[in-house]
A and B are shown apart, each in its own frame.
Chain A
Amino acid sequence: MTHRWPKTLAIIAFLGTAILPNVSGIARAQSTRPTAIQMPTAISDQQYLTGSFALDRHLAGFEMPLASRGEFILSPSKGLVWQNLEPFPDTTIMTDQGIARKRDDGTYETIASGAQFHQFIALISAVLAGNWEPLSNQFTVTDKQTASDQTGADANSPDWQITLKPKNTNGLSEQISQITVMGAKFVTHVTLHKPSGDRDEITLTDQERHDLPMPDDLAKRFSGPHP
């Protein structure tokens, strides 16, 4: 029997979305697809990704979602900063040492700690490096080409869609029923379906790839209670 921090599973679920820019790499490796489709390039350990997000959390039986907006920074070597700007400022920092929330007064609250969080960050890094094996261990990955590729429609329309289904051999299936990812050059949309019927819709925009080192103001956002 194992009892774990409940946040752990949530992080797995969430990072299932965070790693999605790289999931396309999996799809590419697993299937043959038209060469015309634009796929994201893996982010190396010497790079990081910035962008904006909109998270609409749909609760089953209710029309209005819980909507939040903000910015994110993803670094394979450092982790992930998820900074809510609306409706409340709130920053969540996930590193391989755990998950922490930055309080309004600048101090940090450790929500979960432990070196085991490395595996989630490592999952991102592994996929960025083209090593999709860790992901395929936990998910069944299927992909399909979207209609926009065939019609040559709107340039912002997604070129591809990937579906991830947790394998029954792990506890993920108790929290996530399916993850759908769409994108073009970058991931643009993620839907996280939960067994309860709830779902999270995440839209990613304004994504940019940068080379390390980060500017100080960004690097500071990764600092938290963990060394």
Chain B
Amino acid sequence: MTERGGIGTGIGAGFWGMILLIMAGLGLWQITSGKSPIDGDVLSLIGMEQSGDGGQKSDIETVRDLLAQDANQAIVMLSHDQQDMLETMTRQLASDIANIPGTKSVSLPGYDTGNLARFSDFYLPHAQSLLSDRDRALLRDGNGEPVFQNAVKTLYAPAALISAKSLRADPFSLLPGFLSDLGRKFGHTGIIQSAASDAFHTPIIITLSPDLRHTGKDSAWVDAINAAIANAQSNPANQSDGFGIAKTGQIFFAVAEATAAKSDVQRIAIIATLGVFVMVLSVFFSPLPLIGALMTVGSGLIVGIAAVTLIFDSIHAIALVFGASLIGISVDYALHYLVLPADGSSPKSRIKTIRAGLSLGLLTSVLGFSVLAVSPTILLAQIAVYSIAGLIAAYLTVLFLLPLLPARAVQRRSFIPWIYQHLDGVLRHVQLPQMVRVICAACILIGFGLCMAFIPTDDDIRHLGRGNDTLTQQARLIGETMGMGGNPIFIRIDAPDNEARLQTGEAVQDALAPLIETGIVGSAFGLSDMIPSIKRQDENRALIRDQLYAPYAEKLRALLPVPFDAPDPKAPYVLADANAFDHLPELANLHDGTTDIIRLTAVTDADAVARAIAPINTARLVNPRATITAQFADYRGWAMAGLAIALLFAGVLAIVRYGVVAGICVLGTPAGAMLMALFGAAVMGVTINFFTIMALFLVFAIGADYVIFFSESQKHGQQDETRLAVFLSLISSILAFGLLASSSVPVVSAIGTVMAIGLLSAWVLSYVMCPSSSNADTIVDAHAP
């Protein structure tokens, strides 16, 4: 029998249906057009909310910016035991990569001739202010003879970069040494011969188009790179014992994580949806309730995604995974309505029966997620927006669309209701006195507070992602072989004065020199390497004047056909000014406002670096991994505070609705569920971090729904139907979240584990904290077949 809820309901349903269609189209367009691509990089959404004091960037901002710069670079390392073959296959692969859409440029440090002319032109006018480390050390020791001898021999050397112009400005040929140092410090190695295997290795440095990631084409680019590498690997001409290709770069890791997450989402969503299909069909023996459940779940997902795409530039994969779990919440609302017996009542009256419970459940969840929406992290905000929009949509679908469907009665003799009746019968025997329940609830709340305060946590970001052993091994190989790639570590120098920062940079380089010599640091490169401080330039000038010109100028003049003058003490210094930044765009990556950056590569002992620079007050080591881990620890703290606030809101609502005693008992249910989830997680070895705390938010929202539905059922009298609806909801949620626990992404698996334990606990606690009224059940039982 088709029932109608009246003209008002029809208008509302039509209006809501149109909105859903628009939202579906919008969300689809945003994602498929690349306007809101799916982002799998954990780092991409953090730190954007922070800004330092006085225009100085915070560590996390600087880390994010530097990682963003690094994200535009990828490295492919080729290895071969024959140099000729290495060059041939390197050039071929570089050509293939250059032709891939999304590749901005490709350079071959082993074969390119570099930017020497550009650097020489810039530095030549300042040659008498610049010295290599070796020449400076010699002159400082008063040993100018080797420097002079080198200058003389350079005049006749076969491979000398001298000209009349260069000799006028740099008669002692000091600049080539300075430029050599610069190249060494920069750390882009050309060709390396492995001492262990005798194989030769050379890198291809790939610069990606800046828009590659934002347009969502990064996955296609990685596929194309992999195809090019596979093609090179399959070429019989390249085969040899020493042949190999390795790659590294943020883009490879990000795409691998996103691919795994997307695959998990698809699998979880499909199986969870199928599970709900089977469950609903087996309970109602009709597809109509199934359609109702699908409409509710679907509307929640559609509106959730559309809301996120409208507000944010991209959807983070973690938010997507979390959003998919909304299936477990939104199906609660649908089932709560669908299990109500038709028995001649109109859809409107049935809705009225559950509206208060639904509204209170929604309000509790929305309040909880609203705390997240105003949180400082975009990832949290995405999850909050997704959840709030999705749950409101599911709620509205239940109110407006489900009443359009003909009602179908629960088949009490089918398997799932049979299971329910047995479990329900057992749990309903748990009847605790009210005082005991209040004491239990109070103990739970206190226990939960203590647990949140003292539970061991682990926010290390290395434990969040699934990781990719192959990529990790290749990154390690490239780092160990070429001193490139790997975990970036840098030193930041903060000072309002340019000169002070440059002097500090030089002091840092001096402090790091022993570590570079012993291999603890591969290379260190900062602004002061390219632009020495004025103090250093003055020192150099004095050394050149006193240790070279004074004793050797006349000797050199006798040999050199080019006239040259004594160093001009008033000659302009090389400065980190606009001219320098124009000529040397590389400087931009080493300087930002009042902060200079020294980039370190292939660091094997970060603690040793920290110790070495400890005496230098304005310099400090920044390890992006540690910084981001600390950031996630902050987020976790914020989420825990948010959870406490949400619990407080829920407590106020519950007390207002049910009174102090019952309200505390109601509150004890989600709090107890979260406590059990934390305990279970600890027992199962699940790491407690920001994301598991976020999972507790879901436990809180669903647990609150359960107990609110239980409590409200005592008012409207449909207790048995409500308990059945909660049981069915539990099954669907366990299906979805149990599957999350099977995810290959550790953080997703942890969320699933916490959810599964928490929801099961919430269901049991709902019985304990909100015992059924036997009278009402008697009435309902009378309708049972």
A4:B163 contact, CB within 8 angstroms = no
Which of A1, A112, A174 is B586 in contact with, Cβ under 8 Å? A1
A115:B113 contact, CB within 8 angstroms = no
B116:A115 contact, CB within 8 angstroms = no
Which of A9, A55, A97 is B113 in contact with, Cβ under 8 Å? A9
Query: B202 to chain A: closest CB distance in Å?
Result: 8
Of chain A, the residue at the smallest CB distance from B166 is A196
| In the assembled complex, B167 has its CB within 8 A of some CB on chain A | yes
B111:A175 contact, CB within 8 angstroms = no
On chain A, the residues within 8 Å of B155 by CB distance are 57, 66
Interface string of A89-125 (1 = CB under 8 A from B): 0101010110101000000000110111011001000
Interface string of A6-22 (1 = CB under 8 A from B): 11111111100000000
Docked CA distance A96–B110 (Å): 13
Known interface pairs A2-B205, A118-B191. Does A9 touch B114 (Cβ–Cβ under 8 Å)? yes
A90:B164 contact, CB within 8 angstroms = no
B156:A84 contact, CB within 8 angstroms = yes
| In the assembled complex, A87 has its CB within 8 A of some CB on chain B | yes
On chain B, the residues within 8 Å of A12 by CB distance are 113
Q: Which residues of A162-205 have CB atoms within 8 Å of chain B's CB atoms?
A: 170-172, 174-175, 194, 196-198
| In the assembled complex, B233 has its CB within 8 A of some CB on chain A | no
A170:B113 contact, CB within 8 angstroms = yes
| In the assembled complex, B435 has its CB within 8 A of some CB on chain A | no
B113:A171 contact, CB within 8 angstroms = yes
| In the assembled complex, B161 has its CB within 8 A of some CB on chain A | yes
Of chain A, the residue at the smallest CB distance from B118 is A174
Report which residue of B156, B182, B189, B560 has the largest number of chain A beta carbons within 10 angstroms of its beta carbon: B156
A6:B179 contact, CB within 8 angstroms = yes
On chain A, the residues within 8 Å of B152 by CB distance are 88
Docked CA distance A115–B189 (Å): 10
| In the assembled complex, A60 has its CB within 8 A of some CB on chain B | yes
Which of B180, B190, B193 is A7 in contact with, Cβ under 8 Å? B180
B153:A90 contact, CB within 8 angstroms = yes
Interface string of B191-208 (1 = CB under 8 A from A): 111000000101001000
On chain B, the residues within 8 Å of A90 by CB distance are 153, 156-157
A92:B159 contact, CB within 8 angstroms = yes
| Majority SS at the chain B contact face | mixed
The A/B interface has a contact count, at CB < 8 Å, of 153
B561:A59 contact, CB within 8 angstroms = yes
On chain A, the residues within 8 Å of B179 by CB distance are 6
Which of A6, A62, A122 is B164 in contact with, Cβ under 8 Å? A62
B186:A3 contact, CB within 8 angstroms = yes
B111:A119 contact, CB within 8 angstroms = yes
Known interface pairs A3-B114, A8-B114, A9-B114. Does A122 touch B84 (Cβ–Cβ under 8 Å)? yes
| In the assembled complex, B370 has its CB within 8 A of some CB on chain A | no
Of chain B, the residue at the smallest CB distance from A94 is B159
Docked CA distance A63–B559 (Å): 14
Interface bin, chain A: 35 or more
Of chain A, the residue at the smallest CB distance from B156 is A68
B113:A3 contact, CB within 8 angstroms = no
Q: Which residues of B110-149 have CB atoms within 8 Å of chain A's CB atoms?
A: 110-117, 119-120
A9:B161 contact, CB within 8 angstroms = yes
Known interface pairs A14-B159, A92-B157. Does A115 touch B117 (Cβ–Cβ under 8 Å)? no
Of chain B, the residue at the smallest CB distance from A172 is B113
| In the assembled complex, B433 has its CB within 8 A of some CB on chain A | no
Docked CA distance A100–B779 (Å): 101
A13:B159 contact, CB within 8 angstroms = yes
| In the assembled complex, A34 has its CB within 8 A of some CB on chain B | no
On chain B, the residues within 8 Å of A62 by CB distance are 164, 561-562
A4:B164 contact, CB within 8 angstroms = no
On chain B, the residues within 8 Å of A172 by CB distance are 113
Known interface pairs A10-B161, A59-B167, A90-B157. Does A119 touch B113 (Cβ–Cβ under 8 Å)? no
A4:B156 contact, CB within 8 angstroms = no
| In the assembled complex, A152 has its CB within 8 A of some CB on chain B | no
Of chain B, the residue at the smallest CB distance from A138 is B113
On chain A, the residues within 8 Å of B165 by CB distance are 60, 196
On chain A, the residues within 8 Å of B109 by CB distance are 2, 4
| In the assembled complex, A48 has its CB within 8 A of some CB on chain B | no
B561:A4 contact, CB within 8 angstroms = no
Query: B690 to chain A: closest CB distance in Å?
Result: 37
Known interface pairs A1-B115, A88-B156. Does A115 touch B183 (Cβ–Cβ under 8 Å)? no
B190:A116 contact, CB within 8 angstroms = yes
On chain B, the residues within 8 Å of A175 by CB distance are 116-117, 161
| In the assembled complex, A213 has its CB within 8 A of some CB on chain B | no
| In the assembled complex, B188 has its CB within 8 A of some CB on chain A | yes
| In the assembled complex, B107 has its CB within 8 A of some CB on chain A | yes
Docked CA distance A171–B87 (Å): 18
On chain A, the residues within 8 Å of B183 by CB distance are 3-6
Query: A142 to chain B: closest CB distance in Å?
Result: 22
On chain B, the residues within 8 Å of A55 by CB distance are 156, 158
On chain B, the residues within 8 Å of A3 by CB distance are 114-115, 119, 182-183, 186, 188
On chain A, the residues within 8 Å of B188 by CB distance are 1-3
On chain A, the residues within 8 Å of B119 by CB distance are 3
On chain A, the residues within 8 Å of B189 by CB distance are 114
Docked CA distance A99–B183 (Å): 16
Query: B651 to chain A: closest CB distance in Å?
Result: 59
| In the assembled complex, B176 has its CB within 8 A of some CB on chain A | yes
Docked CA distance A13–B160 (Å): 9
| In the assembled complex, B83 has its CB within 8 A of some CB on chain A | yes
On chain A, the residues within 8 Å of B167 by CB distance are 59
Docked CA distance A116–B162 (Å): 22
Query: A9 to chain B: closest CB distance in Å?
Result: 5
Of chain B, the residue at the smallest CB distance from A64 is B561
Docked CA distance A97–B198 (Å): 13
Among all A-B residue pairs, the 6 with the closest Cβ atoms:
A171-B113, A174-B117, A4-B114, A59-B164, A115-B191, A10-B159
- B residues at A contact (CB < 8 Å): 83-84, 87, 107-117, 119-120, 152-153, 155-165, 167, 176, 179-180, 182-184, 186, 188-193, 200, 202, 205, 559-562, 586
Q: Beyond A3-B182, A118-B200, A119-B87: 15 further Cβ-contacts under 8 Å?
A: A1-B586, A4-B112, A6-B120, A12-B113, A13-B159, A57-B155, A66-B559, A66-B560, A88-B156, A90-B156, A92-B159, A101-B153, A111-B159, A114-B190, A174-B116
- Would you mind naming 25 contact pairs between A and B with Cβ atoms under 8 Å apart? A2-B114, A3-B115, A3-B182, A3-B186, A4-B109, A5-B184, A6-B180, A8-B116, A10-B160, A59-B167, A63-B561, A66-B155, A66-B561, A82-B158, A87-B559, A88-B152, A115-B190, A115-B191, A170-B113, A171-B117, A174-B116, A175-B161, A196-B163, A196-B164, A198-B163
- A residues at B contact (CB < 8 Å): 1-14, 55, 57, 59-66, 68, 82, 84, 87-88, 90, 92, 94, 96-97, 99, 101, 111-112, 114-116, 118-119, 122, 126, 170-172, 174-175, 194, 196-198
